Amino acid sequence: MKFMADETFAPEMGDEFSSGKKSAGKLSLKLEGIIPIIIIVIVVLLIVFKTNLIASGASLFKTGGVSVLVVGSPYPDFKSVLTDQEAKDIIKEVRFVTVESIQHNPKERIKGYDVIILDQSLSSDKSITRTLGEAIADYVKTGGRLIVVLNSGIERPGDPSVVGWKATFGNIVPVSCDPTLYSSPSCKNTLHISGILYAIKEDHPIMQGIEKVPALESAGLLQTETYDVGVTGTEIAYLEDARSKKTYPAIVEAPLLLGKVIYFNYDPALSKAIFYNTMKYLR
């Protein structure tokens, strides 16, 4: 009887072992099939992150002009570009406010606009409060669009330890304020140049149909102020000083997963075509 019991038991153990091998084999096959899919998903996410396809794709479904909130004090020529009646199909609504007027509960004051433009060109005070800076950063991180002009927003009221954009906005502004040869921050050292703006990415929607500004030599040179800032994002165009041949970033984009930030290192009014292309791109 003992022999028969052992004989009966042995096949049962073998069946369990065989079944376990089959299960392990099936699990291995499933993992082999899943791993390539995971790799593909990671690659797609990386492409989306680098090219900002989510925001670009979303803009394809939006038509008509954008609503714009201008924070600061832009130059008169730029203000005229923003309020040009001929551009109503691009900018349907624009509101101008000072930094001081939206200090209270800034998150509520800035929400609902398609594009925020931070431009303190006419003001000697380039400061912005911590709460407004954080509100703008959160607005961008949740899909908002921001344009920063020249050295707007580089300081914080009553705080000499802050210079540049990173302390207030984090990493959303695609340029940096670096120490220069004489230890003066580059975003505090205003440069006046005569030169030409050249496209780096001619296939970029912002530079569509534009290789350089001015397009013709007979038009002369651009007269503009600029800053020798560092580039931390994607450079779309640059300025070249005609006399020294030194180059400076002109238009820089932040490679964000959600939202868009465009930095202008000159007065955007110098080229209406580039600015309106920018607004269409941000739409």
Q: In terms of domains, do 115 and 233 share one?
A: yes
What is the average per-residue pLDDT within 88-103?
A: 95
Does 137 have pLDDT greater than 60?
yes
Long-range CB contact pairs, 244-252, < 8 A, 24+ = 248/191, 248/193, 249/175, 250/197, 250/198, 250/226, 251/206, 251/207, 251/278, 252/174, 252/175
Q: In terms of domains, do 124 and 249 share one?
A: yes
Per the domain annotation, does 60 fall within a domain? Answer: no
Per the domain annotation, does 57 fall within a domain? Answer: no
Report the distance separating Cα 161 and Cα 155, nearest Å: 9
- Please give the full DSSP string across 245-264, using - where no structure is assigned: --EEEEEEE---SSSEEEEE
Does 42 have pLDDT greater than 80?
no
How many angstroms separate the most distant Cα atoms in the chain? 112
**pLDDT reported for residue 43:** 64
Q: In terms of domains, do 39 and 131 share one?
A: no
Q: In terms of domains, do 22 and 129 share one?
A: no
Query: What predicted TM-score, i.e. pTM, was given to this entire model?
Result: 0.79
Q: In terms of domains, do 135 and 28 share one?
A: no
The number of distinct structural domains making up the chain is 2
Per the domain annotation, does 28 fall within a domain? Answer: yes
Does 280 have pLDDT greater than 60?
yes
Confidence bin at 163 (pLDDT 50/70/90): very high
Residue 93 makes CB contacts below 8 A (sequence gap 6+) with 65, 66, 67, 68
Does 60 have pLDDT greater than 50?
no
Is 245 exposed, middle or buried (CB count within 10 Å of its CB: 0-12, 13-18, 19+)? exposed
Confidence bin at 237 (pLDDT 50/70/90): very high
Does 264 have pLDDT greater than 80?
yes
**pLDDT reported for residue 114:** 97
Domain boundary among 27, 51, 75: 51
Least confident of 7-11, 106-110, 143-147, 277-281: 7-11
Per the domain annotation, does 5 fall within a domain? Answer: no
Per the domain annotation, does 2 fall within a domain? Answer: no
What is the average per-residue pLDDT within 48-73?
A: 64
CATH number at residue 202: 3.40.50.880
Q: In terms of domains, do 205 and 124 share one?
A: yes
Q: In terms of domains, do 31 and 133 share one?
A: no
Q: In terms of domains, do 156 and 205 share one?
A: yes
Per the domain annotation, does 7 fall within a domain? Answer: no
229 to each of 184, 190, 238, 250, 263, how far by Cα in Å?
12, 11, 12, 10, 11
- Please give the full DSSP string across 20-47, using - where no structure is assigned: HHHHHHHHHHHHHHHHHHHHHHHHHHHH
Q: In terms of domains, do 29 and 144 share one?
A: no
Average pLDDT, the chain: 86
Q: In terms of domains, do 164 and 273 share one?
A: yes
* Residues spanned by the domain of 72: 65-282
Does 33 have pLDDT greater than 90?
no
List, for residues 72-90, the tens digit of each pLDDT value. Answer: 999 999 999 999 999 999 9
List, for residues 195-223, the tens digit of each pLDDT value. Answer: 999 999 989 999 999 999 999 999 999 99
Q: In terms of domains, do 163 and 78 share one?
A: yes
Identify the bridge partners of residue 194 per DSSP, sorted by sequence position.
223
Does 164 have pLDDT greater than 70?
yes
Identify the bridge partners of residue 247 per DSSP, sorted by sequence position.
240
Q: In terms of domains, do 206 and 262 share one?
A: yes
Per the domain annotation, does 112 fall within a domain? Answer: yes
Domain boundary among 8, 29, 51: 51
Please state the length of the chain. 283
Write out the E strands in 162-233.
175-176, 191-199, 212-213, 222-226, 230-231
- Token output for 6: 């052992």
